[in-house]
Chain A
Amino acid sequence: MTRQQLSTMSRRVAVTVIATGVLLAGVAGAPRPADAHSPNPVFAGGLFAQNADLRFRWGAGGTPPTVMQTAIRNAAAGSNASRKSKAPTFTYDAAGGNTVYYGVDVPCGINGLACFRRDAPTWFGIWIRPNGHRYDWGTLRWCEMTGYPNGCYDAENIVLDEFGHVHGLDHHVNFADESDYEDAVVQTYARVKPRAGWDAHLFGRCDVATLQQQYDVATWSTLYSTCLGIDTTTTLTASDTSVVEGTLVTFTARLASDGTGRLAGNPMSGRVVVLQVRSGTAWADVLTMGAGSTAGSYVASLTIRTSADYRAVYRRTTTEGTRGSVSPVVAIKATVACYRLCPLSILPADR
């Protein structure tokens, strides 16, 4: 969101936001660009351990109805399935050390649907208001308990939001028109059926982006969230750079993330890395390199006929939030093979 877009948006509905007091109206009236369409912010207070196995039980006197138990377990499963990182997993366990409570006696403030506390890395609690609770502005209807009428709230979605908070996710900062609302489940306000996003049961890409930043990707082949824009580094080596024509040369490329924190220097496996050869002033694809023996490595073998420059290319794809990269050039010098008497000019001593 640019300053200009925000300004335009403000004019459209005659909204002028001005801070008073110390700040003059003219100064604060210019909205600051928001961090829209970026990974969710993070709560202060630390994280749980990577891949922590967080078990929860029903709170004393607050066992949910069966249908809500299912929704809560499904939310836990949805978190586990969509975290795409080493964020903790959630599992129901009657002997678990964390609690999920459903009932009247909740500390969620006057209008909360659900709330949480987290004391990372040791404990969390989640509280859920009961179906039928009467607010000043209406009656709470959980979709799962009322047959999914319009105006209901999807408990699985709301509890997934709470699990996201337990991970450490703060609310996503949306574009001014909220066109990116569905990029995150962890939102400032929950949407009611049938508004878009009301029944999201998996973390959105900007939830995942923060989980990856904070906990690291799940495996070296896990794709980086498209809510990110991670630089990458590609390198290339050859088994020999000066060979007789007809020699088989093995090229090894290494691809790594070049982000910050957890996302710095991670090997990246399972991607498409292409070996290219210089052709005049351009580069031509030779072949797609196969998986190497170590994480983030890619190999290809070529029978060298002539001297040429080679490089490895990792191209940006739309399915991953990484930027492409190109390795430095590796020059391979090929000399003519001798089948009878070699001319003196190519004797090893003259090389």
Chain B
Amino acid sequence: MPKITTAILSVLATLTLAACSAGGLPSPEPPGTPTPTVPVTSVPTGPAASAPPEVTPQPTPRPTEVPGPPVASLGGGAAGPVAGELGTFFWGGLGSDSPWIVPTTHLAAAPGATLTVTLDPAGAPERWTAAWAPVRNGAAGGVDAVGEGEGSSVTLTAPGQPGSWGLLVEVHFPGGQRAAWYWSVVVAP
């Protein structure tokens, strides 16, 4: 029982963390965005997404929150849904590059189990791709298979071979926006 409780708390914590982190992206303003005149003595803060040098000093634009990719969860395993780790995405004009992430929290699933990815908010996905890679020594190895499809949600079949697997799902949304999420899936009979 304590193990189950711990697992639930872990999943909830992961979901909460992902929800917080993926909910908004700091968005520095590019040059050309109207900026209020500031005293020369003002101290720039925030990232250096700054305007080109001007005769009149400008502050380095501060990040502003814009909606980021949705939270993606993988369900259908032995326990409840597990939030995916957000990887590479292009959203709101910002492109971010990530490695293949092997999350520390995993989803346990039986061989061939049906797994479903859900998005929150659901949005209107245009298409998606998925890839499985075996995980050895904590790192994802070569990709063994890919698939793709169209539709508003994604349903996958867990690998038939027991072991630790990494799963990548990349979803494409209207307007060229897209995001990739990663999961660890432990397949055991």
Residues on A close to B: CB < 8 A? 6, 9-10, 12-23, 25, 28-29, 31-32, 34, 43-45, 57-62, 95-101, 103, 105-117, 119, 122-123, 125, 127, 135-137, 151, 153, 158, 161-162, 165, 170-171, 176-178, 188-192
Contacts and interface: CB of A to CB of B under 8 A. Distances in A.
Contacts of B73: none
A18 B188 CA distance: 22
Interface string B88-110: 11100111111111111000000
Nearest to A44: B176
B104 A13 contact: no
Contact of B26 (A12, A107, A191): A107
Contacts of B116: 20
B27 A107 contact: yes
Given A15-B145, A15-B159, A127-B47, 12 more contacts: A13-B132, A15-B144, A17-B156, A20-B152, A97-B31, A109-B21, A111-B98, A113-B97, A122-B31, A125-B28, A136-B104, A192-B99
A89 B74 CA distance: 43
Contacts of A14: 111-112, 157-161
B186 to A, nearest CB: 15
29 contacts: A9-B144, A12-B144, A12-B145, A14-B112, A15-B130, A16-B156, A19-B151, A20-B153, A23-B151, A32-B149, A34-B146, A60-B48, A61-B45, A97-B52, A107-B49, A109-B69, A110-B21, A117-B28, A122-B32, A123-B30, A123-B31, A123-B32, A125-B28, A136-B85, A136-B104, A137-B101, A137-B103, A189-B87, A192-B99
Given A17-B147, A110-B21, A115-B96, A177 B155 contact: no
B103 A16 contact: no
A18 B155 contact: yes
A244 to B, nearest CB: 66
B148 interface: yes
Residue of B22, B31, B145 contacting most chain A CB atoms (<10 Å): B145
Q: Which 4 A-B pairs have the closest CB atoms?
A: A59-B48, A97-B52, A17-B147, A19-B151
B48 A101 contact: yes
Given A99-B49, A137-B104, A189 B88 contact: yes
Interface residues of B, number: 76
B144 A13 contact: yes
Contact of B148 (A32, A106, A119): A32
A192 B99 CA distance: 8
A110 B94 contact: no
A97 B51 CA distance: 7
A191 B99 contact: yes
Nearest to B68: A109
Contacts of B98: 109, 111-113, 189-190
Interface residues of chain A: helix, strand, loop or mixed (majority): loop
Contacts of A18: 149, 155-157
A32 B150 CA distance: 9
A106 B63 CA distance: 9
A114 B97 contact: yes
A117 B49 contact: yes
Contacts of A122: 30-32
B159 to A, nearest CB: 5
Q: Which of A105, A116, A153 has the most CB of B within 10 A?
A: A105
Contacts of B30: 117, 119, 122-123, 125
B67 interface: no
Contact of A19 (B25, B60, B155): B155
B63 A107 contact: yes
A136 B86 CA distance: 11
Contacts of B129: 34
Nearest to B30: A119
A9 B145 CA distance: 6
B121 interface: no
B9 interface: no
Which of B68, B94, B139 is most buried by chain A, counting CB atoms within 10 A of its CB? B94
A328 B141 CA distance: 53
B44 interface: yes
Contacts of A25: 155
Given A23-B149, A116-B95, A125-B49, A177 B159 contact: no
A29 B147 CA distance: 8
Contacts of A113: 97-99
